Amino acid sequence: MIENDDQLRAVVEAANDNLQAIQLYLNQKNHPDGKIRFPRGFLRTATQYRSRLGFIKSDTLKTNLSYTLILSDVLRWLLNRTDLAGTAKEMVIKNAIILRASICESMAIHGTKGTIGKKHSFCERTNRMAAKGIVTSDLCDELHWLWEKRTGIHIYELDHQEYEKYEIADYNRAVSVTKDLRDALEEYHRS
């Protein structure tokens, strides 16, 4: 059990050395004995996530969103518990943002079912949500930012290199937008 920061640093150093030794031995090969145990207690459960999505009536959608949020936890672990840097880190951030945009899209469509038709684009939908008072204009703007940021999913459409385009602040902002949309939809369905 780690009891102070000095012990933490020593344990991290030993883990780093051992992980590097595994990598040097295996290189790019797969080996059944070369798998490390993912730390328990970091990933939230599907049950925990489902309990936070009360406004979603479809059990299938609620469960699938929960699974996607678990994947988001995996990406968050990589960002918070490793020194991943450069392009690899940016691509993890990019994919975490894309996940968050997908979650927001699903929540927005399901959360406005019967109020706003399915045929609307995401940004048009969020504009209508703001006009109806479901979300604030500030949240609408944040949702538009998130949707624009996720356009990197269409790699063939990019007219620029993605290097230095994604930062941890973008990821944190995407997490906040997701939470704010969930809260707004919960409130809308309570009233």
CA gap 134, 126 in Å, rounded: 9
Identify the three-state secondary structure at position 157.
helix
**Residue 132 is encoded by which pair of tokens?**
């109806």
pLDDT in the model for residue 103? 98
**In the chain, which stretches have pLDDT less than 70?**
none
pLDDT in the model for residue 177? 99
CA gap 126, 139 in Å, rounded: 9
- The 10s digit of each residue's pLDDT in 90-129 is 999 999 999 999 999 999 999 999 999 888 999 999 999 9
Query: Do residues 99 and 79 touch, judged by C-beta distance below 8 A?
Result: no
CATH number of 39-190: 1.20.120.580
CA gap 112, 60 in Å, rounded: 17
79, 84, 87, 88: CA torsion to nearest 10: -80
pLDDT in the model for residue 159? 86
pLDDT in the model for residue 191? 86
CA gap 103, 176 in Å, rounded: 12
CA gap 68, 172 in Å, rounded: 17
* Per-domain residue ranges of the chain: 1-36, 39-190
CA gap 124, 152 in Å, rounded: 20
Q: How many CB atoms lie within 10 A of CB 139?
A: 19
